[in-house]
Amino acid sequence: MLIEIDYRDKRPLYEQISGKLEELILCGVISSDESLPSVRSLAMDLSINPNTIQKAYDALEQRGLCYSVTGRGRFAAPVDEVLPAKKLEVFNELDAVVDKALKIGMTEKEIVDRVHEKAIRGNTGGKV
């Protein structure tokens, strides 16, 4: 599993785990309807308390990113069902950032140029 815990990150461990699993599901690394690792096995792999994994899975399920099948475990939700809501969430966040930028005097060109630069570079995490 491609999950790494950053103990310097101020977010709780369950948020880090659920965030990474969300990313893996939305990017297709974890396929639609693919089974997620059991709570026990993921807890052992990450050397953390199983309750933390359970909390992360519960958070994913609340956001519609996974579902439970009694006696069989948890499975990744179909991306095509989750993606429209996730895109709306991101657009709402973007709207708030654009509003904030405009309020502090940034120009439309500055905002568009920044978005364009980021889209060209991809999500490398680098600064401009």
Identity at 13, one-letter amino acid code: L
Q: What is the mean pLDDT of residues 25-38?
A: 94
Assigned fold of 13-77: Arc Repressor Mutant, subunit A (1.10.10)
Integer Cα distance of 114 and 128 in angstroms: 9
Q: Give yes or no for residue 123 having a pLDDT over 80.
A: no
Domain residue ranges in the chain: 13-77, 80-121
Please tell me the pTM assigned to this model. Answer: 0.77
- Tell me, what's the pLDDT at 15? 96
pLDDT tens-place string over residues 65-93: 999 999 999 999 999 988 898 999 999 99
